[in-house]
Amino acid sequence: MTLRHRRWTRQANGPLPDPPPKIIKGCCPSYIPHCLSCCNHPNAIYLNKWDWKHRPTLYHELVHWFDYQYLTDADREEIRRHYGWPEMSWWHQTPSDAIDPNCERLARAGTRMYLHPRQYKWLRRKFRAAKEAAC
C-alpha cells in the first residue's frame, strides 16, 4: 500500500477491513476489456490509473471488501431495510449489469461515511458491530 493510500485509510471515518487489502495499480481482471477499478476479494483491490489518486474510489472498494469480509446476509438485509433499498440481488449478476445492485448502494453510502464524520452514523455503528461479531 502506498503512503497516500495508508494515509487515506487512517483518515477514514469508520471501521475498515483488517488486515488491509493489497492494492494494485491496474485494471480489474474481472472487467476486461474495460479498464475499471474493482474489489477482487480475497486477492486485491485494483485501482486503474484514473482512480489511483482518487480517494473516494479507494473508499468505495474498501466498502466492498468490508462487505465480503464481515457482513452476513442478515446484516445486508438489515441495511437494505434501514435505507429502504429495493428488494433485489445484493451482488452483480454479470460484470456488465445495467442496474446497480444493493452492494453498489452500500459502497456509495460507505464512501460518504468514510469521508464525512457526521454522516451515516447508523451505518458506522452497523459496520463496527459486524466487525466485532466476526472477531
**What is the C-alpha separation between 132 and 7, in angstroms, rounded?**
24
Residues of the chain with pLDDT > 90, as a percent, come to 86
pTM to 2 decimal places = 0.95
Closest CA to 82 of 126, 112, 130: 126
Segment 53-62 mean pLDDT? 98
* pLDDT at position 98: 65
Lowest mean pLDDT among 13-27, 40-54, 87-101, 118-132: 87-101
pLDDT tens per residue, range 59-110: 999 999 999 999 999 999 999 999 999 999 999 877 666 678 999 999 999 9
Structural domain spans, the chain = 3-17+54-134
* Phi–psi pair at 38, nearest 5 degrees: -165, 165
pLDDT at 121 > cutoff 90: yes
* pLDDT at position 135: 80
pLDDT band at 55; cut points 50, 70, 90: very high
State the chain's mean pLDDT as an integer.
Answer: 94
pLDDT at 33 > cutoff 80: no
**What is the C-alpha separation between 133 and 135, in angstroms, rounded?**
6
pLDDT at 11 > cutoff 90: yes
* pLDDT at position 93: 78
Closest CA to 68 of 34, 38, 36: 38
